[in-house]
Amino acid sequence: RKEVEQDPGPFNVPEGATVAFNCTYSNSASQSFFWYRQDCRKEPKLLMSVYSSGNEDGRFTAQLNRASQYISLLIRDSKLSDSATYLCAVPSGGYSTLTFGKGTMLLVSP
Partner 1 sequence: GAVVSQHPSRVICKSGTSVKIECRSLDFQATTMFWYRQFPKQSLMLMATSNEGSKATYEQGVEKDKFLINHASLTLSTLTVTSAHPEDSSFYICSARRRDSPYEQYFGPGTRLTVT
Q: Which residues bind partner 1 (CB under 8 A)?
A: 32, 34, 41-46, 49, 87, 89, 91, 95-103
CB of 12 to partner 1, least distance (A): 17
Strand partners, 33: 50
User: Min. distance of Cβ 4 from partner 1 in angstroms?
Assistant: 8
17 or 99: whose CB is closer to partner 1? 99
Nearest to 11 by CA among 3, 2, 20: 20
Q: C-beta of 45: minimal distance to partner 1 in Å?
A: 7
Cβ closer to partner 1: 17 or 32? 32
- Cβ neighbors of 40 (< 8 A, separation 6 or more) are 84, 85
Kindly give, in sequence order, each residue whose CB lies less than 8 Å from that of residue 68, ignoring residues fewer than 6 positions away. Answer: 24
